[in-house]
Amino acid sequence: MPYPAVGPRVLLRRLREVMAEQETAQEKLDRIAALVASNVVAEVCSIYVRDDRDELQLFATEGLRREAVHRARLKVGEGLVGTIARSAEVLNLSDAQAHPAFRYLPETGEEIYSSFLGVPILRSGRVTGVLVVQNRRPRHYSEEEEEALQTTAMVLAEFLASPEFLSELAAHGEKKSRRLHLRGEGLNAGVALGQVVLHQPKVVIRNFVADDIEAEIARLNAALEDLRAHVDELISTTGLSNQGEHAEIFETVRMFANDRGWVRKIEDAIRHGLSAEAAVERVQSDNRARMLRQPDPYLRERMHDLDDLANRLLRILTGQTGTAAQGDLPRDSIVVARSMGPAELLDYERAKLRGLVLEAAGAGSHVAIVARALEIPVIGQVDYITDQVENGDAIILDGRTGDVHVRPNPDIRQAYAEKVRLYARRQARFTRLRGQPAITRDGVRVSLNINAGLLVDLPHLEDSGADGIGLYRTELQFMMTRALPMREEQERHYRAVMKAAGDKPVVFRTLDVGSDKVVPYFKTEREENPAMGWRAIRMGLDRPALLKAQVRALLSAAAGEVLHVMFPMVTDVDEFLQARKMVESQLEVMRLMGKPVPRRVKTGAMVEVPALIFQLEGLVRHVDFLSVGSNDLMQFLFAADRSNPRLAHRFDPLHPAMVRALDTIARACRDAATPVSLCGEMAGSPLDAMILIGLGYTSLSMAPAAVGPVKAMTRTLDRGKLARALRSWLDNGGTSLREKAAVFARDNGVKLYSR
């Protein structure tokens, strides 16, 4: 009666002995085929490997004709072996030739074999090969035999990914270079060519076999304890446990961490002779294969959560807990991660970092904000990329289009290398403009400033040739740390910013948290509409201690200098007056205490809430300056959530409604001689900035990379001519001024370069 000749533990040990031999990769595979055949008492055992052409190549066999090795190939989906490769599922057949997918390969001589058992060789959820046994006599293979084959497949999976085997594969004319084209959302423009660096490198399992089952189960339990504690800590420290969608995700994670079914499967694998880490990997691999084929996005997401947990468990068990930032980086690193916190990104050596690809993360995510500050191209929402790439894979990303090419062919590589050269040439042109002022052809001087929020932003002030920092988002420092930064820490930070800016002005915006800007240690109530909720200056006035501490830090940091402070989300004049009063009283306290104070303090308000447009007359009498936050102003004017990707392109900042609102603000400020600037995203688009200058804005603040293109536009613009045209466009209505503006630019030689 056919039954495994030896138990799985003995088989594993023998496999390990084979692996340790001083033999070529081919010899090892031949020996494994022979070993499995005798173990399962089969006449045939064959190992098929998925090659560069995405075909399953017969790589080793015991029982089939030797001449067929490296010649017999099946496409994915073709024949029984191809069917297993496509479905990632086991096929156990007593009459293989009766199966509709059966395909006869004459070179192998397999027509005499009736029964067939094939299992996928899975690595990270991808089928990298198929392991098959066959017998002449019709028979159904037992569960133990399936188990033996699966165990062997797991060991083979590691071997097929080893450098030792990959060079063997290359010697057979096939490089492991399956091309992959993925798409995500471009979060920061730019093109990067380099090699994959997995933020969390794949765990390497060195010990597959264990003799002491109880000891392995005890190791597993201890690791599960750690895992559960980690999940609980995550839930409590993020403070997100009571926030709708987050709560649901965390609950799912907690549920998996305590799921008996999952744990039992791992324990079963240990009882079959695997070490705890090999058992976790084995169960995880099956889950991944199902995940990649799961059509329902919700279920797929949940399987993804489980995969994350299994990964963490593996790291705990093997002690491999660091990220790639701690190791030696290649010169052209493109970091690929599921998700990442902003501080983790800053751990990487900037000089070697070329780009970032994330599975999670949208445009407003903190890590994307930091990546923009580092000026590296970023693509987010690239589903399952970490499952499909390996460290060292060639990779290209285009942050403008969201395209990611993995293991690209030479043509694509060439095309992108050309793009990089073009980009560099264009940047060189902007560099030449750096020392030139932004003056229109008819002599209007425009002040171009940068938006910043981190110390890594500061060198851009010099590089871009900007006139100053028009918006310093102070909340970024708060978002980066796990605990509230103390007043002294804030002061040090602001002082460093002012020092780096030298004579150039910096406009500090007080804390704008709430809405999508989550600060982990502020536990706030769940809100239905957080963007219109308790945020920014509203929070600052209701909880004055925090704002007071920040104002004090700013006043001290600017001792002897001119300090510009502005308040976000001001909705009525009284809010501004209260905030200004707070600044004045802190100043007074400092004077009384004999502390050094700024030479001058200028206070301003952001115009982000439409209600403020109807109070401009009163407001301009009190403020030293205004700054239009066009991102929020757009969102509230059009009632369109700025972080909802479905609405991202629905309303145009050059819609007459928005342009009229901007016109009203510009006029009110002109009449009162109040300085006004604009610091939303539109300031960084040359065409939008052209319209702003046409409306009379002479100060703009934007991402550093936009300064060059906007300056080039300004220097080729006749502002007077545009202002006249703009009047007639506004009088005639229409849906957007974009097309008219583009025609004007073209006909009048205004240079519009993209970033």
- Residues annotated as part of the active site: 366, 679
- Which of 611, 626, 617 minimizes the C-alpha distance to 566? 626
| Cβ(359)–Cβ(384) below 8 Å | yes
Q: In this structure, how many other beta carbons lie within 10 angstroms of the beta carbon of residue 738?
A: 16
Q: Which of 158, 307, 403, 632 binds ligand PEP (CB under 6 A)?
A: 632
Mark 625-656 as b/e (b = at least 16 C-beta within 10 Å). bbbbbbebbbbbbbeeebeeeeeeeebbbbbb
* 632 part of the interface to Mg ion, by CB under 5 A: yes
Q: How far is the CB of 546 from ligand PEP (least distance, A)?
A: 18
Helices (H), 356-458: 366-373, 385-388, 410-433
Closest approach, Cβ 208 to Mg ion, in A, equals: 54
Residue 294, binding choice from Mg ion, ligand PEP, none, Cβ under 5 to 8 Å by partner class:
none
317 binds, options Mg ion, ligand PEP, none, Cβ within 5 to 8 A by partner type: none
C-beta atoms surrounding 581 within 10 Å: 11
Of 101 and 640, nearer to ligand PEP (C-beta) is 640
In the complex, the smallest distance separating the C-beta of residue 710 from ligand PEP, rounded to whole angstroms, is 16
Quickly count: other Cβ atoms within 10 Å of residue 183's Cβ. 13
Distances (CA, A) of 709 to 208, 672, 714, 715: 57, 31, 9, 10
- Contact residue for ligand PEP among 405, 473, 580, 711 (CB under 6 A): 473
Quote the CA–CA distance of 573 and 593 in Å, as a whole number: 31
Q: Of the listed pieces 158-166, 405-413, 441-449, 624-632, which binds ligand PEP according to CB under 6 A?
A: 624-632
- Of residues 485, 629, 696, 709, which one binds Mg ion by CB under 5 A? 629
**Measured CA angle at 398 (ends 396, 401), to 5 deg:** 140
Which lies closer to Mg ion via its Cβ, residue 90 or residue 532? Answer: 532
Least CB distance from residue 347 to ligand PEP, whole Å? Answer: 25
Residues 595-624 vs Mg ion: string with x where CB under 5 A?
-------------x----------------
365 binds, among ligand PEP, Mg ion, none (CB under 5 to 8 A by kind): none
389 binds, among Mg ion, ligand PEP, none (CB under 5 to 8 A by kind): none
Alpha helix locations (H) across 401-486? 410-433, 459-464, 475-480
Q: Which does 473 bind (CB under 5 to 8 A by kind): Mg ion, ligand PEP, none?
A: ligand PEP
| Footprint on residues 503-562 left by ligand PEP (CB under 6 A) | 512
Q: Tokens 């299992």: give the residue.
A: 119
Show the tokens assigned to 244. Answer: 């709708």
Partner from ligand PEP, Mg ion, none binding residue 630, C-beta < 5-8 Å depending on class: ligand PEP
Binding letters toward ligand PEP, positions 675-714, x by CB under 6 A: ----xx----------------------------------
d(CA 585, CA 309): 51
Apex CA 47: angle with CA 42 and CA 53, to 5°? Answer: 150
Nearer to ligand PEP, 336 or 368 (CB): 368
Smallest separation (angstroms) from Mg ion to the CB of 370: 18
| Distance separating alpha carbons of residues 436 and 449, to the nearest angstrom | 14
700 CB contacts (<8 Å, ≥6 apart)?
Answer: 446, 447, 448, 449, 470, 677, 678, 679, 683, 689, 692, 693, 710
Q: In angstroms, give the least distance from the CB of 254 to Mg ion.
A: 35
| Beta strands 506-509 and 333-337, pairing class | unpaired
Does residue 653 belong to the site contacting ligand PEP (CB under 6 A)?
no
The answer to whether 604 contacts ligand PEP (rule: CB under 6 A) is no
Among 598, 629, 684, 708, binds ligand PEP (CB under 6 A): 629
Q: Which is nearer to Mg ion, 269 or 607 (CB)?
A: 607
Q: Which residues bind ligand PEP (CB under 6 A)?
A: 471, 473, 512, 608, 629-632, 679-680
Q: Which residues bind Mg ion (CB under 5 A)?
A: 608, 629, 632
